Amino acid sequence: MDLLEKIVSLSKRRGFVFPSSDIYGGLAATYDYGPLGVELKRNAKERWWRDMVYRNDNIEGLDAAILMHPTVWKASGHVDAFHDPMIDDKASKRRYRADELIERHIEKLEARGKEEQAGRVRERFLAALHSDNMPKELHRIILDEEIRGPDSGAFDWTEVRQFNLMFETHAGAVADDETRIWLRPETAQGIFVNFRLAQETSRQQIPFGIAQIGKAFRNEIVARRFIFRMREFEQMEMQYFVAPGTQMEHFEDWRERRMQWHIDNGVRPERLRWHEHEKLAHYADAAFDVQYDFPMGWQEIEGIHSRTDFDLRRHQEFSGKKMEYFDPKRQEKYIPYVVETSAGLDRTVLMLLCEAYEEEKVEGEERVVMKFHPEIAPVKAAVFPLVKRDGMPEAARALAADLREHFKAFYDESGSIGKRYRRMDEAGTPFCVTVDGETMETGAVTIRDRDSMAQERVATEHAAAWMKDRMKAWRRSA
């Protein structure tokens, strides 16, 4: 089993992530977060919110509706241009993104040392992406390079066709063109259309940001790889409004800060890298992705984009409402430029799961342990009575109740202590607290550290503070 398969299986077994509507056989590319997964995801979300909205007095939060006025998506360009170029392998009947097939082909050539050929294909690929006849050009490259179906090995392709990724629905009783609306394919537009209201009510001055976490929907044609690519997912986006001409310094600043955030969540720096966009959207003047070294290769988890004044200008045009800002320092009016940080919450969770997963041999036995950063871990502490008598269960329950005032704690009295430890290792619980005979005499419990498995005696009344200190000071062991 490869790492991703192990994580999919652990996720279902332990309650991180389930296939959606599992009793009906699941629904493709949709997933539900179980009891552990929902905590993990909330912790990631809360750290993002704290880092954006609480730590910066010039970033405000927002929670816009998923359903928006249909003109929003005309102004944003999504109705006309939110397409993916798709191609079908007639042999396997599987569908692929044509651009991804070519990118993978280029990477393979490079890995085989065929730099010159890779360079040539890359040049053609970039020209194709910019051409008015993109599907045809991509198709030609696939044929000329004899790129084969990744699953079948066959060379039997259809044409390349464009698919719009937005989910359509209707507002009200009548389903016609007049009532057609879309589920938002990104959270960013909710921020842009509220720019004026949010700025005026918060009295923020440029530069300032608006942050939002929420669901987005894309009818992804090729949706595989677990929660990496879903049809319903969550984004954490912050749009930073800046004066024209200052965007590059803010862009660099946000790049640094966003990379640091992932590292602060316990992700090893060597498994993160920058990827510069080869093809800039026509309105962008800089774009980098943060990529993580997933089991299936380097893939995007977050994009940092310098979007110029494109979005606000388009909304000004389509709505007829001014999107200008009067800058008191410059004494001039302008449409602000935007630096965007756009992270996928589910991809972040998948990265945290991949990063945490470890198999170790302990006294001849294998243990699976999820080495989450303790502040991200779904459950912080588990409390066990050593045996189910002599007042230990009562003392352990009382301690668990105390700990719950601080963080999520779990009481468990069933099975041997060894079994209880293993269950908590798989859940990634950083601390296991045992109430034993000595506790009943001295009031001190033993706390076992998930990573080192070392045990320490700590006075019961200091247990919560002791764990909090350890959580803050946590560093990943090699």
Contacts of 376 (CB under 8 A, 6+ apart): 40, 43, 44, 47, 265, 266, 352
Contacts with ligand ATP by CB under 6 A: the residue count is 16
Query: Is residue 103 part of the contact set for ligand ATP (CB under 6 A)?
Result: no
Cβ 409 to ligand ATP shortest distance, Å: 31
Q: CB nearer to ligand ATP: give 258 or 422.
A: 258
Q: How far is the CB of 217 from ligand ATP (least distance, A)?
A: 9
Among 344, 378, 385, 430, indicate the residue that binds ligand ATP (CB under 6 A).
344
Any contact of residue 51 with ligand ATP (CB under 6 A)? no
Residue whose structure tokens are 């009031």: 443
Q: CB of 346: closest distance to ligand ATP in angstroms?
A: 5
By beta-carbon proximity to ligand ATP, the closer residue of 75 and 424 is: 75
Among 390, 396, 461, smallest CA distance to 432 is for: 396
Q: Output the residue with the shortest Cβ distance to ligand ATP.
A: 344
Interface residues for ligand ATP in 218-237 (CB under 6 A)? 218, 220, 229-230, 233, 235
Does residue 261 touch ligand ATP according to CB under 6 A? no
100 in Cβ contact with 149 (< 8 Å): no
| Shortest Cβ 65–ligand ATP spacing (Å) | 19
Q: Contact with ligand ATP (CB under 6 A): which of 46, 300, 324, 413?
A: 300
CB of 332 to ligand ATP, least distance (A): 32
* Binding status of residue 311 toward ligand ATP by CB under 6 A: no
Q: Is 166 in the site for ligand ATP (CB under 6 A)?
A: no
Q: Could you say which residues in the range 183-202 bind ligand ATP, by CB under 6 A?
A: 186
Task: Considering only the stretches 63-71, 254-262, 296-304, 398-406, report the one whose residues sit in contact with ligand ATP under the rule CB under 6 A.
Answer: 296-304
Cα–Cα dist 184/191, whole Å: 12
Chain mean position to CA 438? 45
Q: Does 342 bind ligand ATP (CB under 6 A)?
A: yes
Q: Is 346 in the site for ligand ATP (CB under 6 A)?
A: yes
**Smallest distance from ligand ATP to CB 366, Å:** 32
For ligand ATP, the binding residue among 347, 420, 422, 448 (CB under 6 A) is 347
Q: Which of 440, 341, 460, 444 is nearest to 400 (CA)?
A: 460
**Of 39 and 234, CB closest to ligand ATP:** 234
Q: Which is nearer to ligand ATP, 300 or 438 (CB)?
A: 300
Q: Taking CB under 6 A as the criterion, which residues in 419-478 touch ligand ATP?
A: none
For the record, the structure tokens of 208 come out as: 């300032």
Only one of the segments 20-28, 64-72, 102-110, 295-303 lies at the binding site for ligand ATP (rule: CB under 6 A); that segment is 295-303
Strands in 59-61's sheet, in edge-to-edge order, are: 59-61, 208-217, 232-242, 337-344, 297-306, 286-294, 272-276
- Minimum CB separation of residue 345 from ligand ATP in Å reads 8
Choose the stretch contacting ligand ATP; rule: CB under 6 A; options: 4-12, 34-42, 115-123, 340-348. Answer: 340-348
Closer CB to ligand ATP, residue 44 or residue 463?
44
Report which of 239, 240, 237 is spatially closest to residue 207, judged by C-alpha positions: 240
Q: Which residues bind ligand ATP (CB under 6 A)?
A: 186, 218, 220, 229-230, 233, 235, 300-303, 342-344, 346-347
